Structure 1
Amino acid sequence: MAATTPFVTSRRNVLKMAGAGFGHLALAGLMGSLASKAAHAEVNALNPLAPKKPPLPVKAKRIIFLFMEGAMSSVDTFEYKPQLEKLNGKAGPGGGTITASRFSFQQYGQSGAYFSELLPHIATHADEFCFLRGLYTDTPAHPQAVVQLHTGSSNASLTRPSMGAWLLYGLGSENQNLPGYITINPPVAFGGASNYGSAFLPAYYQGSPITDSGVMPNIASVTPRDLERQQIDLIQDINHEEQAKPGAPEAIEGVIKSYELGFRMQDTVPSLLDISKEPRHVLDAYGAKPGLEGSFGRQCLMARRLSEAGVRFVEIRQPGWDHHTNLHNGLIEQSRRIDQPIAALLTDLKQRGLLDDTLVLFGSEFGRLPTSQGNDGRDHNITGYAMAMAGAGVKKGFSYGGTDELGMAAVEGRMHINDLHATILALMGIDHEQLTYRYEGRDFRLTNVAGVVQQQIFA
């Protein structure tokens, strides 16, 4: 019997075998990843709005964004700065006169969060809020700042997809008969439709605009249902012919699917937006009544109904916060319109168990300075301001970051708009660095080439 050559476990042999093993593992991982992407692409091609499994743990399933357009003054609403009272009338660090708020503040809840007398109803939910008190942005001009808040970029040379469009692209829709992204009373100025558009993403990811009375212009129709189906079929035949031509733009596919979604929506949306079917005590709680006075209340109630039905991203807008003049009376008027409805929305969501998986975001494109402008106004502040979150995934009764003693600049827990977007995407189960779309030879994302997830606020 021949002698067996003993196997020598040398350092070289170990490294050689390990290297081969790692190569097999890498190849297997690569093939698995490619197969997964191919299967994912096939599913998306058939139904791009189908629900997708988020790559990260999901803390929030949907978002309601309460957008206070024009820049709400944090130092007059929920940013109490005692030094403003002590230094009232003295020269400010950047020029101007330090001006204390004319509204009294007090603490609420176990968290002891401060709210001014302008927001007594919202203040009762103090322990639901997670305040982001160290925000800053890039430009003090409303048009650019509003667009950056919604799209991640203020670059006018290339319109970017909106935050809601990115969410639909990454997650799909929970209800195939409803838009996954609805904006109520959307901005007319300050970027207009680009704030809810899909830009270079396919058209079916864009937001669907609705008026504050529940009218959805893009699906309004008095045409009989069967005749309308015939009309759409004719248009779709033309679209398919155009799509089959060499060099046809990819956007045609988005148009085709948008028509089909619009047709399906007509069976669901009108009844969903009819808030008159709500009990009287619910309407009264929101202050949802006809006319301008009940506009924001109607929006909040519609937002709850839409979210409950499976709309992934709902934005509602209250304009009129640009108080360079008439600050005192203007804040009283604006706060009166939003205070009761927002409090009612939080109460309603909580009672229905929806706040457990709905993230509510409340704030503006930037803040206002602690110094005066004219006799009764405050100028724009992009170096330090606050926004608030409530609901799914965030710590309750918690504050993260902060501005200096005057509320002039963020000095701790600083969060750029890119960081805010990265954090919101993470709460929804999305890695902001992986959520990309290739356009003109470059991979774009909501957070550009920046963005840090602030996990300190996660519950």
Structure 2
Amino acid sequence: MDNQEILNRLTRRAFFSQSSAGLGTAALASLGMSNVSAAPNAASLQSATRVGGLPSLPDHAPKAQRAIYLFMSGAPSQMDMWDHKPAMADWYDKDLPESIRQGQRLTTMTSGQARFPIAPSIYKFAPYGRNQTMASELIPHMAGKVDDIALIKSMYTEAINHDPAITYICTGDQLPGKSSLGSWLSYGLGTENENLPAFMVMTASWTGRKEAQALYNRLWGSGFLPSKYQGVALRSTGDKVLYLSNPDGVDPSIRRRMLDSLARLNANTAAQLGDPETNARIAQYEMAFRMQTSVPELADISDEPQHVLDLYGPDVTKPGTFANCCLMSRRMAERGVRFTQIFHRGWDQHGQLPKDLPNQCRDVDQPSAGLLTDLRQRGMLDDTLVVWGGEFGRTIYCQGGLSKTNYGRDHHPKCFTVWMAGGGVKGGVVHGETDEFSYNITENPVHIRDLNATILNQMGIDHERFTYSFRGLDQRLTGVEESRVVSEILA
């Protein structure tokens, strides 16, 4: 075709057919996925029920078939939960030594302070498990699970403010525009249930600080990957997935006829223009139609026995709570959803930490432990990877005035704690160490790129070989800087 003929075919209907408007644009997509040539042994590693994904993946035997990421947005205070620093009791209200801070970057919220008074944790710690791992009284249920988890106390990042930090850990870059971890997994591995997306997201309610940081859909967006790989948000009220329900007066049979007619029109467009996105859109509409049945069934927990509900705590039957989201994540996992991410906000305790932190821990402690128990009882923990953590840590010194009943902590990217469980991760392991101020890493530093490389590795993907060509570059989730799989925590 010459240029004029191409322009003539860009009609108003063609424009809207290629735009982001309409049912199915929220990545209702595990169908129509583009493929590349298969590695020689890839087929033997794939699940027989898998839909979509690249035939070249997994490129080695996966330890985990699916993953659940519990993300504590706002940054939990590591020294109040997992990183026990008893020597700080003797440093109460003394200034953080410059030999410890070493001129490291501060946020504008504390850079102007005349003093940096140390605020030791006011919470009691005790040893748990076969290796006597120290855990806080704030997390009694997870303390009882230390033999099931690998505790990484030496995580670090370069980002010091929330938006670039959470974008960094979720997408591999501090700048917006890159593809999220879940989108990479959806693109590479597909789903094991053609009636549900490969990547689903939930935002849980919280009871801590209400002035929480905003969550943008780029955190589960597809970036430069096709839009069908972005996460599908499951809502706690109204339609579980936006635009999924039929309009008033449109029953399933009418919707079926509409989709059949639309598919024929789109097929004609695909034949004329050769745009692969048109065929992908047909598949998305079909999946949306199937989700009208599969999503309500997924969200209906009336078939869960009481002893299972009790694992997650008293809030499990309240839609939108962290407990309910954890139960939903298990239901998604057993139905073949590849990657589920739960965001729990309110961890940004610049003030009122003694009031807000216990509330946050109550939200997540029993549900997190209950999820691990539930997965193990069903024989799913061995091949389900569970990750818990935030975007950075918090300072040992106090923000503002110091009192034992009202104080806060500032952002701290130099060290924080993450735990992992299941999916080939060794239980009862503590990896990495920090100094007595929980300020600098002294052993086995783990960058957030290393964390993402490890997640991919457990899912059967070599992070260095897993690329997508965009703007002349082979893009990777872990970027071009050095990163490694944290093999020390793997079984």
Using the size of structure 2 for normalisation, the TM-score is: 0.80
- Alignment match, 2:192: 174
Partner in structure 1 of residue 443 of structure 2: 412
CA distance in 2 between partners of 1:359 and 1:289 (Å): 22
Task: String of CA shifts for 1:306-329, please: whole Å, max 9, x gaps.
Answer: 101111111112111110011011
Contact 2:332–2:340 (8 Å) recurs in 1 = yes
| Structure 1 residues 125-204: aligned runs within 5 Å | 125-156=145-176, 159-185=177-203, 190=214, 192-204=216-228
Alignment partner of 1:393 out of 419, 424, 434: 424
How far is the alpha carbon of 1:37 from its aligned partner?
Answer: 6.4
Residues 65-104 of structure 1 mapped to structure 2, 5 A cutoff: 65-93=69-97, 94=101, 96-104=116-124
Report the CA distance between 1:51 and its aligned residue. 7.5
Establish whether residue 443 from structure 1 lines up as the match of residue 461 from structure 2: no
How many residues in Structure 1 have an aligned counterpart in Structure 2?
419
CA distance in 2, matches of 1:190, 1:239: 37
Residue 144 of structure 1 contacts residue 190 of structure 1 at CA under 8 Å; is this kept in 2?
A: no
SS in 1 for 2:71: strand
Q: Secondary structure at the match of 1:102?
A: coil
How far has the Cα of 1:290 moved from its partner? 5.1
Alpha-carbon distance in 2 for matches of 1:221, 1:112? 55
* Structure with the larger helix share: 1
Shift of 1:356: 0.9
Give the residue type in structure 2 aligned to 1:117: E
Q: 1:227 aligns with which of 254, 267, 274?
A: 254
Deviates more, 1:407-416 or 1:322-331: 407-416
> Which of 278, 284, 290 pairs up with 2:310?
284
- 2:295 is aligned to 269
Task: Please say if 1:215 is aligned against 2:240.
Answer: yes
Local SS of the residue matching 1:389: strand
Q: Which residue identity lines up with residue 428 of structure 1 in the other structure?
A: M
- Which structure 1 residue ranges, 5 or more long, are not aligned? 1-33
Task: Kindly state the Cα deviation for residue 200 of structure 1 after the two structures are TM-superposed.
Answer: 1.7
C-alpha separation between the residues in 2 aligned to 1:281 and 1:456?
Answer: 35
Distance 1:253 1:87 in 2: 65
1:455 aligned partner: 487
Q: Report SS of the residue matched to 2:409.
A: coil
When the two chains are superposed, the root-mean-square deviation of aligned CA atoms in Å is 2.7
How far the C-alpha of 1:104 sits from its partner, in A, is: 0.6
Q: 1:234 to 1:189 in 2, by over 3 A?
A: farther
> One-letter code of the match for 1:458?
L
SS of alignment partner, residue 379 of structure 1: strand
Partner deviation per Cα, 1:4-41 (whole Å, 9 max, x = no partner): xxxxxxxxxxxxxxxxxxxxxxxxxxxxxx96469999
CA deviation string 1:249-292 (max 9, x = no partner)? x5444433322222222222211111122122322331344558
Instruction: Report deviation, 1:204.
Output: 2.2
Alpha-carbon distance between aligned partners in 2 of 1:443 and 1:115, rounded to the nearest angstrom: 42
* C-alpha contact (below 8 Å) 2:213/2:346 kept by paired residues: no
1:329 aligned to 2:355? yes
How far has the Cα of 1:190 moved from its partner? 4.3
Higher CA-based Rg: 1
What's the secondary structure of 1:98's corresponding residue? coil
Sequence identity of aligned pairs in percent?
A: 40
User: Equivalent residue for 2:10?
Assistant: none
* CA distance, structure 1, for counterparts of residue 334 and residue 129 of structure 2: 28
Q: How far apart, in 1, do the equivalents of 2:180 and 2:271 lie?
A: 29
For residues 314-373 of structure 1, give each alpha carbon's deviation from its aligned partner in whole angstroms, at most 9, with x where no partner exists.
111211111001101101111111111111111111111111111110110111111111
TM-score (norm 1): 0.85
Range that drifts further, 204-213 or 102-111: 204-213
Q: Structure 1 residues 270, 421: closer, same or farther in 2, change over 3 A?
A: same
Distance in structure 1 (CA, Å) of the matches to 2:414 and 2:252: 53
What is the distance in 2 between the residues matched to 1:386 and 1:428? Answer: 22
Between the aligned partners of 1:36 and 1:245, the Cα distance in structure 2 is 29
Whole-Å separation in 2 of the counterparts to 1:318 and 1:122: 17
- Distance in 1 (CA, whole Å) between partners of 2:42 and 2:218 is 28
Alignment check: 8 A CA contact 1:146 1:191 kept: no
CA 1:186/1:221 → structure 2, altered by over 3 Å: closer, same or farther? farther
- C-alpha distance in structure 2 between counterparts of 1:437 and 1:233, whole Å: 33
Deviation at 1:402, TM superposition (A): 1.8
| 1:430 correspondence with 2:461 | yes
Residue equivalent to 2:337: 311
Structure 2 letter corresponding to 1:82: P
Q: Secondary structure at the match of 2:193?
A: coil
Q: Is this contact kept in 2: 1:50–1:176, CA < 8 A? A: no
* 1:20 match: none
Give the whole-Å Cα distance in 2 for the aligned partners of 1:351 and 1:38.
36
Q: Secondary structure at the match of 1:369?
A: strand
Q: 2:61 aligns with which of 52, 57, 63?
A: 57
